[in-house]
A and B are shown apart, each in its own frame.
Chain A
């Protein structure tokens, strides 16, 4: 498989699944060309609803559709859809409506549009709700499986997708399971927990570290809620050093979730790599380098952490 944006894989998968499942409907807020549901809307016009630039109403309508038997995918940029947090909290979460919330354009990797379009607090927000799993697929293969899973999962769910292309990282025989992570590269000195955009940079960083004699275990943490506690504790127990890497604010994301769990069960040192402060306009590569999410930045943080 070639590199592909998870939002593109999402649009393609939904089109396929929509052909055999009448329950699937899409809701958009004037961004269907960006969330990649436009093709679904063209193919199934009676099952696609564009509410205009009104995300709260879109989310609420999604809840009502779910309560009458549909499986709505409610789509916008991560910052705009999760920005209507109170509507998600009550109309979706507390109501326990079977709504699939899709946040595309996650992270600073959207680049030039700048901070107002960057979803970098969405994981922290959704993670605080008791009944919404948070899933960020790593590549095309995993995205397809996660979308299929989302249709079958009874209850609300949050999918975090990227604008930028993602390199394939999962093996061909990979099968997504909720709350299960995947070791992409075994190692014994440090655990690199990556999710979404910077995951392939973790693999590159592992190669740089290997040249320095540091063996990094790289794990795809697609499920941010629930965490794969078994794999987390197993790997952390083995390496004694955990580094989280995500295109999200350092507060409340994967790093926060991992630190919460480890501090209670296995209090070891953790380093959280992510976005500090607000994002800004710039080229995505430059932004990743600035926030230490590029291979060199990740490797540097690991060396410092291990004092090597």
Chain B
């Protein structure tokens, strides 16, 4: 059974993603919407963290290696209490802590600067090893993009992870999740530089690999359970996802990799995310003042 609470939070985070990207006028909706269910499942039910103490040494860590999807992370972090949701609309604006790609030094709770693709897995390995060396109970979750694993550094890390720290400190505190939404900036991944057979590749490098539907909170939860129960090796999860998930006109369209919606498009996207028909929308907004405020704010942008 999908966790209704996590599903509801993910829906609200999707709305925030659309909202902040529209205010910013730029950013990456497709990959943010494909990864949001994974991030929500991690932050609301899995991770051990204290938003008031982001430097707590024994916290679990999330490294969003596909840093361009950081609007999804910001939405989840705001919801988790790292900062107030009102700050989300400062995304990409001059002076904002919410940089276009994650900046660890700007925003407490961001674990590493990422977005220059291919680097997050190595950093995650180092974190997992460092935690093991001091017998900390914390776990590390690294999220890779599919296009991202075309980078050579990823495969250096892939080769080393199952061996690093052995025999005394194997990295079984590391779980890597591939957000396999099948689209990269220029086009479909299969058309640019196909990853297949991706499962066999990671297995050949010595990783146990799980395959799941990355939008099914139940499957995500079970895979994370399995990873946590695994001893002696890190775990790799191939999460099949849909780029732009939840917004009909963004789904599976490479055009929506890195383009912000216009206000009218954003309002339509929010309506779709909330599952409300066009005819019922006006009545719905009377019952949901929070969404109403977001929609009014977006409508005001249109007039600017």
Name the interface residues of A59-82: CB closer than 8 Å to any CB of B.
59-70, 72
Considering the complex, give the chain B residue whose CB is closest to the CB of A96.
Answer: B105
Asked if B178 lies at the interface with its beta carbon under 8 angstroms from chain A, I say no
Asked if A46 lies at the interface with its beta carbon under 8 angstroms from chain B, I say yes
Q: Least Cβ distance of B155 to chain A in Å?
A: 9
Whether A64 pairs with B57 at a CB distance below 8 angstroms is no
Assembly CA distance A51 to B126 (angstroms): 11
Interface-side segment among B34-42, B111-119, B247-255, B269-277: B111-119
Whether B126 pairs with A65 at a CB distance below 8 angstroms is yes
Q: Least Cβ distance of A84 to chain B in Å?
A: 8
With a 10 A CB-CB cut-off, give which of B103, B113, B118, B128 has the most chain A CB atoms: B113
Asked if B121 lies at the interface with its beta carbon under 8 angstroms from chain A, I say yes
Whether B152 pairs with A56 at a CB distance below 8 angstroms is yes
**8 Å CB contact of B125 from A64, A72, A89:** A64
**CB 8 Å contact bits of B117-131 with A (1 = contact, 0 = none):** 011011111111111
Q: With A86-B116, A91-B112, A95-B112 as given contacts, are A65 and B130 in contact (CB-CB < 8 Å)?
A: yes
Whether B124 pairs with A64 at a CB distance below 8 angstroms is yes
**CB 8 Å contact bits of B96-114 with A (1 = contact, 0 = none):** 0000000111000001111
Whether A60 pairs with B123 at a CB distance below 8 angstroms is yes
CB contacts (< 8 Å) of A60 on chain B: these are 119, 121-123, 125-126, 153, 157
With a 10 A CB-CB cut-off, give which of B119, B129, B157, B159 has the most chain A CB atoms: B119
Q: With A52-B160, A90-B116, A96-B105 as given contacts, are A59 and B122 in contact (CB-CB < 8 Å)?
A: yes
Asked if B200 lies at the interface with its beta carbon under 8 angstroms from chain A, I say no
Name the interface residues of A88-112: CB closer than 8 Å to any CB of B.
89-91, 94-97
Asked if B156 lies at the interface with its beta carbon under 8 angstroms from chain A, I say yes
Q: Least Cβ distance of A66 to chain B in Å?
A: 7
CB contacts (< 8 Å) of A87 on chain B: these are 119, 122, 153
Asked if B51 lies at the interface with its beta carbon under 8 angstroms from chain A, I say no
Considering the complex, give the chain A residue whose CB is closest to the CB of B152.
Answer: A56
Considering the complex, give the chain A residue whose CB is closest to the CB of B138.
Answer: A68
CB contacts (< 8 Å) of B136 on chain A: these are 68
Considering the complex, give the chain B residue whose CB is closest to the CB of A29.
Answer: B156
**8 Å CB contact of A94 from B113, B126, B156:** B113
Name the interface residues of B181-197: CB closer than 8 Å to any CB of A.
none
With a 10 A CB-CB cut-off, give which of A52, A54, A63, A68 has the most chain B CB atoms: A68
Assembly CA distance A72 to B130 (angstroms): 10
CB contacts (< 8 Å) of A56 on chain B: these are 118-119, 122, 152-153, 156
CB contacts (< 8 Å) of A62 on chain B: these are 126
**CB 8 Å contact bits of B157-177 with A (1 = contact, 0 = none):** 101100010001100000000
Q: With A51-B160, A56-B152, A57-B153 as given contacts, are A64 and B130 in contact (CB-CB < 8 Å)?
A: yes
Assembly CA distance A58 to B122 (angstroms): 8
Assembly CA distance A70 to B111 (angstroms): 15
Q: With A51-B160, A52-B160 as given contacts, are A67 and B153 in contact (CB-CB < 8 Å)?
A: no
Asked if B133 lies at the interface with its beta carbon under 8 angstroms from chain A, I say yes
Assembly CA distance A298 to B133 (angstroms): 50
Assembly CA distance A70 to B134 (angstroms): 10
With a 10 A CB-CB cut-off, give which of B122, B136, B157, B159 has the most chain A CB atoms: B122
Whether B160 pairs with A57 at a CB distance below 8 angstroms is yes
Assembly CA distance A86 to B121 (angstroms): 15
Assembly CA distance A60 to B151 (angstroms): 14
Asked if A49 lies at the interface with its beta carbon under 8 angstroms from chain B, I say yes
Considering the complex, give the chain B residue whose CB is closest to the CB of A57.
Answer: B156
Considering the complex, give the chain A residue whose CB is closest to the CB of B132.
Answer: A68
Q: Least Cβ distance of B120 to chain A in Å?
A: 8
**CB 8 Å contact bits of A39-55 with B (1 = contact, 0 = none):** 00000001101011010
Assembly CA distance A215 to B103 (angstroms): 51
Assembly CA distance A285 to B261 (angstroms): 64
Whether A95 pairs with B130 at a CB distance below 8 angstroms is no
Q: With A54-B159, A56-B156, A90-B113 as given contacts, are A68 and B131 in contact (CB-CB < 8 Å)?
A: yes
Whether B105 pairs with A63 at a CB distance below 8 angstroms is no
Q: With A49-B164, A68-B126, A91-B122 as given contacts, are A63 and B133 in contact (CB-CB < 8 Å)?
A: no
With a 10 A CB-CB cut-off, give which of B114, B116, B126, B159 has the most chain A CB atoms: B126
CB contacts (< 8 Å) of B122 on chain A: these are 56-61, 63-64, 87, 91
Assembly CA distance A64 to B127 (angstroms): 4
CB contacts (< 8 Å) of A46 on chain B: these are 133, 168-169
CB contacts (< 8 Å) of B121 on chain A: these are 60
Assembly CA distance A95 to B116 (angstroms): 12
Q: List 11 A-B contacts (CB under 8 A).
A: A51-B164, A60-B122, A61-B157, A63-B123, A64-B123, A67-B126, A87-B153, A90-B115, A90-B116, A90-B119, A95-B123
| Interchain residue pairs A-B with the least CB separation, the first 8 | A64-B126, A60-B122, A68-B130, A57-B156, A54-B156, A61-B126, A64-B127, A94-B113
Chain B positions within 8 Å of A, measured between CB atoms, are 57, 103-105, 111-116, 118-119, 121-131, 133-134, 136, 152-153, 156-157, 159-160, 164, 168-169
Excluding A60-B153, A90-B113, 12 further A-B contacts by CB distance (< 8 Å) are A51-B156, A58-B122, A60-B123, A64-B112, A68-B131, A72-B126, A90-B114, A90-B116, A91-B113, A91-B122, A94-B104, A95-B104
Chain A positions within 8 Å of B, measured between CB atoms, are 25, 46-47, 49, 51-52, 54, 56-70, 72, 86-87, 89-91, 94-97
